[in-house]
Amino acid sequence: MFLAVEIAGGVVFHSLALLADGVHMVADVVALAMAYAAVRIAQRPPTERHTFGFARTEVLVAEANGVLLLAGALVVVFEAVRRLSNPPSITAGGVIIVGGLGLIVNLGSAFVVAQHAHGNLNMRGALWHLLADALGSVAVIVAGVGAALFGAEWLDPIASIAIAILVVLAAWQLLRDATGVLLEAVPGNLDVAAVRDALAAEPGVEAVHHMHLWTAGSEQAALSAHVVLSGPLSLHDAQIRAGSLKEMLATRFGIEHATVEVECHACLDDDAHEHAPTGRFNTR
């Protein structure tokens, strides 16, 4: 609803800053709708065709939101540069009022989304949209006050460029994080060496190798590793040891999805490994 108010205000009051904020808010509306749809899709159970489920739908939507942010910022910068040479007169009072209402709406929306954004890249992307819009509303107010008190009409396109810079920064962080998930990079809050050392330090563990750490869904850490246990051990004992290792990973590092392949000796080389028995127990 406020999107319509802001765009109408930008047209009536001749304010590019309001229109810039309106363009960003269009991206917000689309982003929030996509975020909601992604959350719904991600909650679907796995299928025979999609055995991992649909959690990464949220990551794909976060990528799309980042592209939307960048596209909106480029449009705003292009128009702002064009207006700098001959800034039009704006209706300062109307700009200040609409900008103030926008600040209230954006902060209120950001507060609601922030309660659900922790640990969810997609929701954090939506939050970035709203926070950037709130800062954009501040820039709109500054432009209106400058025009009203000092006749500084040039502040309006300058404020638009400032909004665009904020949008680009938000888009860059969102795209970087989402791309990292798609490339299965190590989550930023985890240290590979620390996780490996913690596994190796557990009682009865002789070695840890072939360890991989990545993000399974939006921000759900996952791990797979081969762990050599001192033995001899029965299959039952090996499974109990693997269970205790996974419990440690969940408790200390928040890694809820772990696949631990326990072995009685280290893996052979790849060529021999295909043909030689290894005596391994695979527990998941």
Q: Residue 200 and residue 196: Cα distance in Å, rounded?
A: 6
pLDDT single digits (tens) 21-30: 777 677 677 7
Query: For residues 249 and 259, is the Cβ–Cβ distance under 8 A?
Result: no
| Among 107-111, 257-261, 265-269, the least confident range | 265-269
pLDDT single digits (tens) 120-142: 666 777 787 778 778 778 878 88
Q: Return the axis-axis angle of helices 192-200 and 235-253, rounded to nearest 10°.
A: 140
Domains of the chain, with CATH numbers?
A: 2-182 (1.20.1510.10), 192-283 (3.30.70.1350)
Percent of the chain with pLDDT over 90: 18
- Considering only the C-alpha atoms of the chain, give the largest distance between any 2 of them, rounded to a whole number of Å: 85
Peptide bond into 203 cis (omega under 30): no
- Beta bridge pairs of residue 202: none
pLDDT single digits (tens) 187-236: 878 899 999 999 999 999 999 999 999 987 656 789 999 999 987 888 89
pLDDT single digits (tens) 63-108: 887 887 788 788 778 878 877 877 777 788 888 888 898 889 889 9
Is 278 a residue whose pLDDT tops 80? no
Q: Pinpoint the alpha helices (H) of the chain.
A: 2-12, 16-42, 57-84, 92-114, 121-150, 155-182, 192-200, 235-253, 270-273
Residue 217's closest CA among 39, 65, 64, 49? 39
Tokens coding 54: 């649909």
Q: What is the mean pLDDT of the chain?
A: 81
Residue 114's closest CA among 134, 141, 99? 134
